[in-house]
């Protein structure tokens, strides 16, 4: 030792949202090192993180995701994932989100909690109905809470769809429905 400091290893973390600006760095990505379901979700611009619980979560926005996971815990469930559909919760993205959540055999219910600020709730509701019809029998209860622009119309679309989907207006009502379906 000659009393010099030497770096023998390094770790670099890259923001996935910035990769499009750095194709040279993106080319170095090794998806075999990543969770395959998370990679698949990323292909549809869905932000997905698997957790160990029994209630699938589909939300728009990280803050709402955290509140949703908290309310699931308070209702006696445990979040099975963090899945953020972002600001464009159209039928295609909602369908892919359902398919990704349903890959987890531990999921016993799905809570969809969307705030319609940019995205209209009636469009999300129609996306949920279309996605459900495209997938076929989903096999687990789905609780949907849509708040914001056109929320009343959205609840009407869900309620009149004839599908096995429970709608809720308030977050505590959604939590109660989660508790009921898990009982």
Question: Would you state the pLDDT for residue 101?
Answer: 96
The predicted pLDDT at position 28 comes to 87
Rounded to the nearest integer, the mean pLDDT of the chain is: 89
Q: In angstroms, how far is CA 128 from the centroid of its own chain? A: 13
Q: Does domain 35-182 have CATH number 1.10.4080.10?
A: no
Q: What is the pLDDT of residues 95-136, one digit of tens each?
A: 899 999 999 999 999 999 999 887 888 988 998 999 889 988
Q: Give the mean model confidence (pLDDT) for residues 10-23.
A: 85
The full set of domain ranges for the chain reads 35-182
pLDDT in tens, 63-73: 999 999 999 99
**Strand duo 142-148 + 165-168: pairing:** parallel
Summarize the confidence of residues 16-38 as an average pLDDT. 87
Condensed to tens digits (0 to 9), the pLDDT of residues 125-164 reads 998 999 889 988 888 999 999 999 999 999 999 999 988 8
Say which residues have a Cβ less than 8 Å from residue 116's Cβ, sequence separation at least 6: 124, 146, 147, 148, 149, 150, 151, 154
| C-alpha closest to that of 60 among 134, 121, 114 | 114
Q: Model pTM?
A: 0.84
Task: Check: CB of residue 107 under 8 Å from CB of residue 72.
Answer: no
pLDDT tier at 8 (50, 70, 90 boundaries)? Answer: confident
The answer on pLDDT for 1 being more than 80 is no
């Amino acid at each position: 030792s000659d009393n010099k400091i030497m770096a023998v290893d390094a770790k670099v973390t890259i923001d996935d949202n910035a990769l499009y600006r750095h194709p040279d760095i993106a080319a170095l990505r090794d998806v075999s090192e990543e969770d395959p379901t998370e990679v698949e979700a990323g292909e549809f611009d869905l932000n997905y993180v698997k957790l160990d619980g029994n209630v699938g979560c589909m939300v728009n926005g990280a803050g709402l995701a955290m509140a949703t996971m908290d309310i699931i815990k308070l209702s006696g469930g445990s979040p099975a994932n963090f899945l953020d559909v972002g600001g464009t919760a159209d039928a295609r993205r909602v369908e892919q989100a359902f398919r990704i959540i349903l890959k987890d055999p531990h999921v016993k219910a799905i809570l969809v909690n969307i705030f319609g600020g940019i995205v209209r709730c009636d469009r999300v509701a129609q996306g949920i109905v279309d996605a459900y019809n495209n997938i076929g029998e989903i096999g687990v209860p789905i609780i949907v809470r849509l708040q914001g622009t056109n929320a009343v119309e959205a609840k009407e679309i869900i309620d009149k769809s004839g599908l096995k989907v429970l709608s809720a207006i308030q977050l505590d009502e959604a939590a109660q429905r989660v508790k009921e379906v898990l009982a």
